[in-house]
Amino acid sequence: MGSKKVYLDVVCGPEGNSLNIGNDDHGHRLAGPKPWGGGQTIHRFEVDPDELIREAQAYKEFANEDDEDE
């Protein structure tokens, strides 16, 4: 069984660019305005989901350390 593809898309919408994560079936906007009325993918990165999770977890731990310092 092959691994599913995961994409990070930069989408240009009427109110500006947004960052989305998804696969061939579903997606989720991570940052930026919703592309009301539609949008166009202007760049797509294919990412390794395990690497993405590992790096996101590392940054989450880093952010939690900053919160403790306040």
What single-letter DSSP state applies at residue 9?
A: E
More confident position, 19 or 3: 19
DSSP conformation class of 24: S
Q: Which of 19, 16, 38 is nearest to 28 (CA)?
A: 19
- Residue-level length of the chain: 70
Using one digit for the tens of pLDDT, what is the confidence trace for 9-41? 999 999 999 999 999 999 999 999 998 888 999
Residue with tokens 């990165």, as numbered in its chain: 45
Q: What is the pTM of this model?
A: 0.77
Assess whether pLDDT exceeds 90 at residue 44: yes
